[in-house]
Structure 1
Amino acid sequence: MIAVDHHSFAGNFSLNPTSLAAAEMLTEQYPNDDLVYDHLAFRTLGVPGLGIDSLAPTFLELGWRARDELRFPAKKLRARWFAPPCPSLPRIFISELLVGEVDAAAREAIAATLGATPRTLLARHSLLAAAGGGTPWPAPSRAQYAAVAAESEYGAWVLANGAALNHTTLSVHAMRDVAGLDDLIGRLQGAGFALNAEGGAVKVSPDGLLRQASTRADARLFSFSCGASALVPTSYIEFAERLVLPEFQGLAEDQVQEHHRREGFEVGNADKIFESTYSSKAA
């Protein structure tokens, strides 16, 4: 896991006041080596030149290793996560909308927005465009955005935000002064932060060893190509607690390493975390 620098971490959320405020609260309360990344998450569209396969090579070339694929049939999504080359780096979680499975109106709106942009440029410049605060395609019209949102709020989020960092996740078990995720959630709620309550504030895997929670995404004013403007969801902060696996329960607390804890992701948890950016649930 990688330690979080106060300024770089808060800077990731300059357009997201809730996440920025939560970051500032946490970095004021805990030393930097107590705040570490569990994973970073990106979204994309499953069309040629985009999708998981357009973002993955950047991380694979740097030593991340492809791991499990996850499927979300009701949301028409798939995802894959990537294990880091060393424990000091975060996992990477990349998901995509299965565009071929959405309704005709959404498919047509996506195709019209992407337009004639060469697919090779989309693949090469998605992350670069996101770093500059933009997308490698023109802004959609409000009607196009609405057509996609009616079918998939996830897809509409990507049209507006591109490959921008969807969320950063902090490792709760690395916070020495926090007695688990429930304790942290209590502190956040006590400070007035709005959390994604879909499926409960804390999402728990069937084995009980992966516990996750997130803030609700803030919104920013977005200018559509037709000249209209409206608020659209941006990003958020997630918190993950990975408990010690049964076979390592006998280890002393100071002996427990990351590889002794529950690894990977859980479809049921992630399915609800996706909804942190739904407009109906935005802060």
Structure 2
Amino acid sequence: MIAFNNDTSKTTPLDTVLGGLMRRYSERVPDVQRIVDAMIDEKIIASPIEIENDHIAFRTMGVPNLGIASFEKIFSHYGYVKRDEYNFTGKKLTAYWYAPPEPHYPRIFVSELRVHELSDEAQEIIHRYTDTVTSDPVDVLDLNDGNAVDAFLHQPLWTTPTLTDYQALLAESEYAAWVIYNRYYLNHFTISVHNLKLGYNTIEEFVAFLEKHGLRLNSAGGVIKVSPDGDLRQASTVAQMIDAEFAGGDVFRIAGSYVEFAERRVLPQFRDLPANQIGRGQRREGFEAGNADKIFESTFTTQTNR
């Protein structure tokens, strides 16, 4: 299920954290409600609680006291297990995915900018902000207090950047510019299309549904991104633009967050099983660097300016 439903029966810290993330994210990304409303109108679902959240994603800076080494402590505490590493050479990123403690929770995908590979100018800009974080902020968090963790994930870790600094980073690394302003905001959540009703449960069918309803989709590498084995098929919207206020009062429209869609096909050895015996364990697992590389561009100006 997705976490912005009205189910208040769950009280674990992880449920509180996921609920807070999805609530703020859905408020910031109007496409979320637009898609859910269209799904209800077409009777694909009766309620948002029927949507499976395949994964959520975060972006981080690879600097002392922050980055993946810090961020992963939060979800490791809740039972998430670190899995495969991915390298994005052109974008200077490293990423990992984390398997959830129970199958009804979303997978987590965390990426990190290799700041040391940027130009001296870009490094200087980033460190001017992030060097004010002199110890790992997660180490002083009570991870058993879901509300405290939720608040942490939505609070500024460094001062608001100037528009000049943002634009300088944007010219070299659009990922760096996104993180310097948005910080740990949820980058996207992902609808599992393979668990939807017939007629909508393939990525091609769901993309057709989205396009019919006027959603703007990321076209980098093609609207549908397909893994080499053909079993992981993904698409995403173009990031919603937000009016961002920078230090000094400058206001500039920048990329916020977006929505992703994933179809995980049944693995060959399980394709003869009846539908009621197919779960996550029988479908294509993990991620694909080639797909993810293009999905990152949902926030890039090549997409938002189309």
Normalising by structure 1, we get a TM-score of 0.92
Q: Which residue of 2 aligns with 1:66?
A: 82
Match for residue 216 of structure 2? Answer: 194
2:172 to 127, 145, 151: 151
The one-character-per-residue Cα deviations of 1:67-90 (angstroms, maximum 9, x if unpaired) are 000000000001000001111111
Q: Which runs of 4+ in 1 moved over 4 A?
A: 3-11, 122-131
Q: Distance in 1 between matches of 2:140 and 2:163?
A: 27
Structure 2 partner of 1:13: 26
Written as runs of structure 1 = structure 2, the 5 A alignment for 1:28-39 is 28=41, 29=43, 30-32=45-47, 33-39=49-55
The 1:25–1:246 alpha-carbon spacing in structure 2 relative to 1, beyond 3 Å, is same
SS at match of 1:222: strand
Equivalent in 237, 257, 269 of residue 235 of structure 1: 257
Tell me the residue number matched to 1:163. Answer: 184
* 1:193-272 matched pairs, under 5 angstroms: 193-272=215-294
State how far apart, in whole Å, the 1-side matches of 2:193 and 2:181 are: 30
- Aligned 8 A contact 1:42 1:164 in 2: yes
**What TM-score results when the alignment is normalised by the length of structure 2?**
0.86
The 8 Å contact of residues 86 and 96 in structure 2, kept in 1 or not, is answered as yes
**Paired residues of 1:41 and 1:166 also in contact (CA < 8 A):** yes
CA distance in 2, matches of 1:100, 1:144: 17
Q: 1:51 aligns with which of 55, 67, 70?
A: 67
258-267 or 117-126, which moves further after superposition? 117-126
Give the aligned residue type for 2:183.
G
In structure 2, distance between residues paired with 1:82 and 1:15: 25
Distance 2:238 2:140 in 1: 30
CA distance in 2, matches of 1:20, 1:103: 40
- Larger displacement relative to structure 2 (42-51 or 8-17): 8-17
Could you tell me how far apart the structure 1 residues matched to 2:298 and 2:232 are? 18
Change (3 A) 1:202 1:123: farther
Q: Aligned residues, how many?
A: 281
Q: CA RMSD in A?
A: 2.1
Q: Could you tell me which runs of 5 or more consecutive residues in structure 1 were left unpaired when the two chains were aligned.
A: none
| Secondary structure in 1 matching 2:27 | coil
